[in-house]
Structure 1
């Protein structure tokens, strides 16, 4: 189904972000508003691991948040037991910190964050998605062919539950980019009612969770909601 994802020019431009993404673990923290020990977990994008969010988590920790990666290694796509495997970490962190946990999900990781929040809203304070294709046609991106080639299910029928576009019963913020070369902006922005707020960020898809502008936006959103 050609033409659903971003243009080939935007897609090609994403390749320029790959060296920056690979180098992000070596980059220093980005200053953001101070937190107060609130727990935050970052879910990585497809085929990436916690390495992709090191700079973001480093920035959050430097600002006083308790930031964690997920515990499932490389994100290889949806699995039937995925939500059950993610819940124990949420339970431990909520108990350890005595409060609900904020989930930040980049790309496919944002879909998983939304689904976990639907299953365990008692444990989740807020969900922030970064360029996550939760709305509209699941082929409105430039990665679905690779996803289906590497998985045993279609992007239209992931084995993780019901309506992907349905908003979780917690505060849900959708960050999207007009220059995203992997996920169509409308798919990451969503329709009215599919998230509580939609925020535009002019950053390439592969840098949404590592670019200073993205980290500063995340910091301001956390400060606005968690300190309010």
Structure 2
């Protein structure tokens, strides 16, 4: 896969908050359709939030998944300030505990930085993970986006005070050996969309939606993808295909 060197435009970054509001408004109008989405089988799902957010930011997403029959857990670690040693060890322990107590593999859902956590958990313990869905996450391992973001942090920024103290994403050895879906939007003002696409292969796919980065956790198309991917029976993975009635929400799925 070619190197990813671009960053989102300034305009897309500045318009993220109002566009996230539009994503939420779209959810309000399409909420009844989610009742017709694929149902879950009760297996555990662990949802990991983005940078400088926490469980409140994924409340709508987790509520929708619970209504569809999933056993959903938040990360319960407060504000996501980066993968500190405490965060890394706690997430590893939580994954193993969910797997052990349920007797079933765990699905991982990660938004932005949370998706990087989810990928590394899946690398570390593939036997405990059923599948992985990332939302607006750079899935090109050690992509230039990560290095560029680290440079911005090291140089200081008006957006984040004391940002230089934020830890870097951690890296586990080994390949990603579980089914993985990357959901992205070309209008992302935080992470450039081109870094959010896998090289398509067996049990790897990219699903494009319309919307903002900050609105991914309330985007109706994202919630439909999650319901569909998490509702697939274990061992029966197939590529995502948008329903005809919602095809306009999915510009590209490949």
TM-score (normalizing by structure 1):
0.82
| Structure 2 length-normalised TM | 0.74
Question: Which residue in 2 is equivalent to 1:150?
Answer: 163
Q: d(CA) in 2 for partners of 1:14 and 1:194? A: 33
1:189–1:84 Cα change, 3 Å? same
Q: How far off its partner does 1:153 sit?
A: 6.0
Kindly indicate whether residue 110 of structure 2 is the aligned counterpart of residue 105 of structure 1. yes
8 Å CA contact retained: 1:5, 1:139:
no
**Structure 1 unaligned spans of 5+:** none
Structure 2 spans left out of the alignment, 5+ residues: 154-158, 237-254
Larger Rg: 2
2:70 corresponds, among 45, 65, 69, to 65
Question: In 2, distance between residues paired with 1:152 and 1:42?
Answer: 25
Question: Where do 1:70-109 residues align within 5 Å?
Answer: 70-109=75-114
2:171 maps to 1:161: yes
Q: Distance in 1 between matches of 2:22 and 2:150?
A: 20
| Secondary structure at 2:73 match in 1 | strand
Backbone CA RMSD of aligned residues: 3.3
CA distance in 2, matches of 1:227, 1:192: 19
Query: How much does 1:83 deviate?
Result: 2.5
SS in 1 for 2:38: coil
Question: 1:83–1:115: 8 Å Cα contact kept in structure 2?
Answer: no
**1:176–1:201: 8 Å Cα contact kept in structure 2?**
yes
1:195-214 mapped onto 2 (5 Å cutoff): 196-214=204-222
